[in-house]
Chain A
């Protein structure tokens, strides 16, 4: 089953990178959202997939008996989901503010911080 998941993760990354390469902020945002999900799926698959066996220690035992699902990747993904969600929210607002303030969502036209016609430094004095 890991192989199918690896393929799925690959498709996610392809879509994310394609969107990230766009000039338009709104597409880049979609790319960021998909990239976050691609990574979560990657970590989940990286922890190996065991179906139907929750990692619960029986009452009369001190340790797990036999193979069980790996709980750690789920903890990692939970952290990563929270982080990527908050970042996505921030970037969404930032993109909206940028659209309001700069009147464009084309990154090629965002040249306020680095103006094209800035004078060269003086050559003599």
Chain B
């Protein structure tokens, strides 16, 4: 709002001279690191042989930074760093709580897996085109979105990751890719513009863009500001980014067109950024309005699950089937957001983390399967089990994980979500969750039957001598092992996720970290 009154200037609040504690630099380091490596790769654009090792090392470094950040947050609660020491609510704040740190760490693991796979998938022309710089910029955008504590800054990171994803999706410039990119580009731009519109309204009614400041003021403004309008617009904008039901059509239209590794990264990172923003805004900033809208979100979630899984049943292309499974997973997360409470939000966060790992692994597996069998189509893909029994075992584990069967990572979040839904009496939502799990098992079971157990002679295609390079095999194995480990020993992650959900529902620690001296 305009500066209508001017309180006496307190210069001591503006002139902060003591330096930031060195551990707090971890808050900004993931973004700065990715941007620096990306810039380095752009400078070395003629030495494309150097790109892969630098990018792999850079992303390995990012994983280490994110692990340290998570440890720091676990030890000392939410951490804030303010750009240029302009104190909030005026300066742009980066605030990391458990939710942000967990998402950032998972994203970096997924990106590292994708980067290793890309050694076998991206050829020289892709490298010359700038795959690795785009990847690093994408990670800068994703990390920034997970770590920022300012809503306009969140919009800027959305745009950073969107423009990098445009660069990645048209890599190769095939007709199919251009077709997919047109739909992806226009609809995502409309979604982020909707987000910007909502941010404009938010600023007009709150007079602040700092998330902690908004969370603090939202209760007091409930009677005067159009908070329901804001929440509905945010849900629509982030729902469109996350590919939730009525606005989900851009995802299956585009995700199967780019390179396998690009599809895998998009499936693991982009929709989940939308979901993260939705959780952050509805649960922490506007909790009362989320409660009011919960039935709408639950309905959208249930329909997203069903549309996704029925769409997957109707596909004969492996990657298009996976695109619909991504949509179906988004529905489960929305169900958790609608239910609310520690079980619902915790389940939603857990499911999102599981979905990032497993959907990326499945897309990478689709690339390996196509290399072994020579096709993405279920009509001709056959006999993979005989070609490579170890890979078939990995694929079966991933199929179990995505269907939510024990002992894999998909089981526990699903249990949390079903229990939370039953606890508030939403039996129909629990029923849809279980039905979706069952139908996903049918989808993946049929796929395994046709592609792996069917005799190759009846289908044909592919060369019997095709071998998988270790660069393609390693990330699939690593992600599957991770999914299995989380499924077998979920206790630590379960408690961290519940703490993260509690920190969102009761953000006093977050507020204290942004405003250490209480309200200014």
A residues touching B (Cβ–Cβ < 8 Å)?
20, 25, 28, 32, 35-36, 39, 42-43, 45-48, 50, 55, 62-70, 72-73, 76, 79-80, 83-84, 86-87, 90-91, 94-95, 97-98, 101-102, 107, 110-114, 118-122, 125
B179 contacts A46, C-beta separation under 8 Å: no
B9 contacts A62, C-beta separation under 8 Å: yes
Could you list 6 A-B pairs, sorted by A, with CB under 8 Å? A62-B11, A94-B185, A110-B179, A112-B176, A120-B314, A122-B450
B494–chain A nearest beta-carbon distance, Å: 36
User: Which residues from A are CB-within-8-Å of B183?
Assistant: 107, 110, 113
Interface pick from B57-65, B188-196, B512-520: B188-196
A90 and B42 CA atoms in complex are apart in Å by 19
B232–chain A nearest beta-carbon distance, Å: 16
A119 contacts B253, C-beta separation under 8 Å: no
B2 contacts A69, C-beta separation under 8 Å: yes
B197 contacts A42, C-beta separation under 8 Å: yes
B180 contacts A28, C-beta separation under 8 Å: no
Interface pick from B199-207, B354-362, B388-396: B199-207
Size bin of chain B's contact surface? 35 or more
A110 contacts B182, C-beta separation under 8 Å: yes
A43 and B159 CA atoms in complex are apart in Å by 17
Q: Which residue of A lies closest to B317 (CB)?
A: A118
B365–chain A nearest beta-carbon distance, Å: 18
User: Which residues from A are CB-within-8-Å of B176?
Assistant: 112-113
B1 contacts A70, C-beta separation under 8 Å: yes
Known: A65-B6, A69-B2. A98 touches B178 (CB 8 A): yes
User: Which residues from A are CB-within-8-Å of B45?
Assistant: none
Known: A62-B11, A90-B166. A121 touches B1 (CB 8 A): no
A43 and B408 CA atoms in complex are apart in Å by 47
B residues touching A (Cβ–Cβ < 8 Å)?
1-4, 6-9, 11, 152, 156, 159, 162-163, 166, 170, 173, 175-183, 185-186, 189-190, 193, 196-197, 199-201, 203-204, 252-254, 256-257, 313-317, 377-379, 446, 449-450, 454, 458
Q: Which residue of A lies closest to B14 (CB)?
A: A62
Known: A20-B190, A28-B186. A86 touches B163 (CB 8 A): yes
Known: A55-B3, A94-B170. A121 touches B186 (CB 8 A): no
User: Which residues from B are CB-within-8-Å of A83?
Assistant: 156, 159
Known: A46-B204, A125-B458. A95 touches B182 (CB 8 A): yes
Q: A70-B3, A79-B156 are in contact. List 7 more A-B contacts (CB 8 A).
A: A67-B2, A72-B203, A76-B152, A95-B182, A102-B179, A113-B176, A120-B314
Interchain CB contact (< 8 A) of A47 among B2, B180, B252, B379:
B2
B13–chain A nearest beta-carbon distance, Å: 12
A63 and B193 CA atoms in complex are apart in Å by 35
User: Which residues from B are CB-within-8-Å of A76?
Assistant: 152, 200, 203
User: Which residues from B are CB-within-8-Å of A62?
Assistant: 9, 11
A121 contacts B315, C-beta separation under 8 Å: yes
B178 contacts A101, C-beta separation under 8 Å: yes
A51–chain B nearest beta-carbon distance, Å: 12
User: Which residues from B are CB-within-8-Å of A32?
Assistant: 186, 189-190, 193
User: Which residues from B are CB-within-8-Å of A63?
Assistant: 6-9
A119 and B317 CA atoms in complex are apart in Å by 9
User: Which residues from B are CB-within-8-Å of A120?
Assistant: 314, 316
Known: A46-B203, A73-B203. A121 touches B152 (CB 8 A): no
Known: A76-B152, A101-B175, A121-B446. A114 touches B197 (CB 8 A): no
User: Which residues from A are CB-within-8-Å of B156?
Assistant: 79, 83
Q: Which residue of A lies closest to B200 (CB)?
A: A43
B178 contacts A94, C-beta separation under 8 Å: yes
A25 and B316 CA atoms in complex are apart in Å by 29
A50 contacts B185, C-beta separation under 8 Å: no
A125 contacts B200, C-beta separation under 8 Å: no
A125 and B4 CA atoms in complex are apart in Å by 75
User: Which residues from A are CB-within-8-Å of B193?
Assistant: 32, 35-36, 39, 84
A87 contacts B9, C-beta separation under 8 Å: no
A94 and B169 CA atoms in complex are apart in Å by 11
B203 contacts A118, C-beta separation under 8 Å: no
- 8 tightest A-B contacts by CB? A46-B204, A62-B9, A121-B316, A43-B200, A63-B9, A113-B179, A112-B179, A113-B180
User: Which residues from A are CB-within-8-Å of B196?
Assistant: 39, 43, 80
Known: A43-B200, A43-B203, A101-B178. A125 touches B257 (CB 8 A): no
Q: Which residue of A lies closest to B158 (CB)?
A: A83
Name the residue in A45, A67, A87, A91 with the highest tally of chain B Cβ atoms < 10 Å from its Cβ.
A87
Q: Which residue of A lies closest to B443 (CB)?
A: A121
B6 contacts A90, C-beta separation under 8 Å: no
A91 and B195 CA atoms in complex are apart in Å by 19
